Amino acid sequence: MNYRLSISKFTVLLLLIFCLNKGYCHSRVFHLDDYGAVKGGKVDNSKALLKAWDDACKWKGGSRLDISSGPYLVNAVLLVGPCKGPIEFHNTGSLIAPLGLRGQYWIEFRYIDGLTVSGSGSFDGRGPPKQGSPYLPTLLRFSFVTNSNAQDLKLINSQTTHFNLFACNNTKISQITISSPGDSPNTDGIKIGESNGIIISNSTIASGDDCVALLTGSKNISVIGVTCGPGHGISIGSLGGSPNEHVEQIFVSNIKLLNTTNGLRIKTKATNMVGMVTNVRYENVFMDGVQNPIIFDQNYCPPKTCKQGSSRVQISDVKFRNIYGTSKTNVAVNLQCSGRNPCNKIELKDIEIKYQGLKGKTISSCSHASGEVYGIQVPKPCI
C-alpha cells in the first residue's frame, strides 16, 4: 500500500467527518438577479437585496451574495447577522442610493463574524448633501463586525461619512477608492470608533473632510499606504466631548497627503472631560502643498463659539519620523497643547517640510509641548 496515498485518504476522511458534523460542506452563490431585482436605477430593490441576504446568511456552508450588473436602486438597508457561516457581499456592478435619502446609514452590516465585502463595483451615495438637512446617511457602515475584510471597493458621493466602523475587531480594509468633491462638507473618508485591530492599506481617499478619522475607542489601528487628497488629512479626535475618551496604539506609515487642509492632526476640545491620546507613531509621510502639515489643536472648536479653556485630554508618546514635503503656510509644525495637561514624550526625527511659496521658510510653533528631536529638522524645532 502506498503510505502517502493512505495518509491523503485519511486526511480527506477527517475533513469530510468535520464538514458533516459542522454543516460547512459546500459554499453557495446567491445572485441578486434571481430575487426579482430590476436594474436601471428607477425601481427600489431593497426587498430583493434583503431577501437575498437573508438566504445567504442562513446558508451553513459559507455563501456569497453576488451583484454583477446594475445600476440597482436600493433604499436604506440593514444587513444583520449572525450568519451560519462566512459570508461575502460581492459587488461587481453598481448600487445607487435614492436622491434625498435621509437616516443614519444607507447600507449597514451588523453583528457579523467572517464578513467580506468585495468587488470592483461601486456604491454611489448620490451626493452632494443639502445644506442644513438633518439626518444625512453614512454610505457604508460596519457595526459589531469581527474577523472581516473590505477590499477593492469604490465608494462615491456620500452625503456624509463614506465608511464608518463602530465596535469592530480584527477587520482589514484594502484597495478602497473613496471619491467626493473637496468642498463637500463632513464627507469623511473612513471614520473609526470603539474598534480594535483595524488595518487600512493601499487605498486612495478624496473627500471634503478627514481622509481617516480616529475617534474615541480607536485602539491598535494601522493606516498604511494610503493616498489622501483633497481632504483634511489623517486626524485623531476630536476628543474631550465626553468623559474618558481615548485613542491609543496608532501606526500611520507610507502616506501621501496631496493638497490637504491638514496633514497629521490631533484635536481635542478645551473642556473638563479627562481623556488620553498615547502611543502614536507616524513615519514615512510625504506631503505636497499641505496647509497644516503637523498640528496639535487642544482648543478645537468648529463652531468658533466655544469658551477658551484648557483641555484635560493628555497627549503623550507621539512620534513623527521621516516626514517630508511642502507646506502652503509658514507654520509647518504647530503643537498647541494644553496648559493643564502639557503634551509630553513627543519625538521629531528627520522632519523636512519646506515652504511652497516663493519667499520665506517654514517655522515651528509650540505651546506646552516637550520631547526630543533627532536628525534633520526643517523647520527648526520648538520642543
User: CB-side exposure of 111: number of CA atoms within 13 Å?
Assistant: 8
Helix (H/G/I), strand (E/B), else coil: 53: helix
Q: How far from 6 is each of 2, 50, 381, CA to CA, in Å? A: 6, 46, 69
Q: What are phi and psi of 7, to 5 degrees?
A: -60, -40
Closest CA relative to residue 263, chosen from 215, 211, 198 = 211
* Catalytically annotated residue among 90, 162, 232, 368: 232
What type of residue sits at position 68? S
Helix (H/G/I), strand (E/B), else coil: 32: helix
Cell 487600512 belongs to residue = 200
* Catalytically annotated residue among 124, 188, 209, 297: 209
C-alpha cell at 136: 444625512
209 in catalytic set: yes
Cell 457595526 belongs to residue = 143
Q: Using CB atoms within 10 Å of the CB of residue 50, give its burial: 0 to 12 exposed, 13 to 18 middle, 19+ buried.
A: middle
User: CB-side exposure of 197: number of CA atoms within 13 Å?
Assistant: 10
232 in catalytic set: yes
| Catalytic residue IDs | 209, 232
